[in-house]
Amino acid sequence: MLISLPKDQLSFCLDTVEKALPTHSSVQPIENILLECHGQWLTFTATNLEQDICVKIPNIHDSSGRILLPPKIVDIVRYLPAADVNIEISFDNYRIDIKSGQSNYVLYGADPTDFPLTRSEDDPESILSLEQADFKKILKKVVFAASTDESRPAFNGVLLYFKDSQISLTASDTYRLVVQDLINENWAFEEQRWLIPAKALRELLKIMGEEGEITISPKSKRVVFKFNQVYFATRVLEEKYPDVRGVIPTAFKTRILTERKLFEESVARAGLLAEGINQAIHFSIHDHRFEVKVSSQIGKMEESLQCTQEGEDVEVFVNAKFVMDILKVLEQKEILIDFHSKNGPLVFKIPGDDSYIYLVLPIKME
């Protein structure tokens, strides 16, 4: 069987599916990449049994066959000359001959019989279609707040809640919380909840493009994302996600409006001196001045920013990283911050947009 592809196209396929290869696995076949040739189509697939990634592209040679490619092929193709790549496969001994420019490689693949393929041609119709660029922006504003602590599996996911004309995305690690609401009068969803692993969505972010649509489909206990030539499926977490909206305050004691970029730069400088697991920095609001401070064994720093203030003066300690995470993903010129005394949460909002909130618990200092 002969395959001929431009190096860039082959690298795209292999680099994309590589993100689903397991780090360690007792199931030997899934340590490899499945290559399938069906007439005029080539399909590359990898799985770690929790998520599958598949890329389907045209094949100029009318050939058929299946083989497991060793993962080392990803690096080999990455370093080939920028030219066409010819791959000849012998199914008698699963020998793979790779030629590109003056480079020649011989690799040995494996029998694909035991590869656990979960993808099917009869996937359900999508219930949602969005522009990839828009969906990337939405995910970036949400997924960072999900927990990476495996001992609290429910918080390892991002909750997608569908009802009527609204989708709500929620993520939390119990120290902070993001809620993003999307509303479209043309939507008409049945009420349903999907708790999608945040680590899968982080991988999805890496391979999504900026052009074209992405469709989202439920499939039993999995969710399927399709875009360009890519099929991305991930299992749905079965843990019950708690109702976290009840912790969001309905009124503020102090509200400020300040320039986001200057605030981001100030917090970044303060974070250079923040220490320990809490990375504590100090905010002080008084007389329409917003002071960012830090004091640690390394040294001290203090800056003053202009702001518009409503309500009483307040001082609070907060994790510098938690603040930077939100400032880096927003693009607006200004940001609203609601304070609820020194021990109450900080709630970050986009001016004029009630569909997004980011809540952070303060650090209680003795």
So where are the chain's domains? 2-108, 128-245, 249-360
212: amino acid identity, one letter: G
Whether the CB-CB separation of 57 and 228 falls below 8 Å is answered with no
Query: What is the torsion angle, in degrees rounded to the nearest 10, for the CA atoms of residue 160, residue 319, residue 347 and residue 310?
Result: -170
Q: What residues contact residue 211 under an 8 Å CB cut-off, 6+ apart?
A: 132, 133
Right CATH for 249-360 from 3.40.50.1000, 3.40.50.2300, 2.40.50.140, 3.10.150.10 = 3.10.150.10
- What is the Cα gyration radius of the chain? 25
Question: Could you tell me the strand order of the sheet in which 353-360 lies?
Answer: 189-197, 157-164, 166-172, 176-183, 353-360, 346-350, 334-339, 254-259, 308-311
Lowest-confidence pick of 147-151, 194-198, 217-221: 217-221
pLDDT one-digit tens code per residue, 240-265 = 998 888 889 989 999 999 999 999 99
Residue 85 scores a pLDDT above 70: yes
Q: Do domains 2-108 and 128-245 have the same CATH topology?
A: yes
**pLDDT for 279:** 95
Dump pLDDT digits (tens) for 135-173: 999 999 999 999 999 888 999 999 999 999 999 999 999
Query: What is the fold, at CATH topology level, of the domain defined by 2-108?
Result: DNA Polymerase III; Chain A, domain 2 (3.10.150)
CA angle 248, 201, 218 (to 5 degrees): 95
- Domain 128-245 listed as CATH 3.40.50.1370: no
Report whether pLDDT(338) > 70.
yes
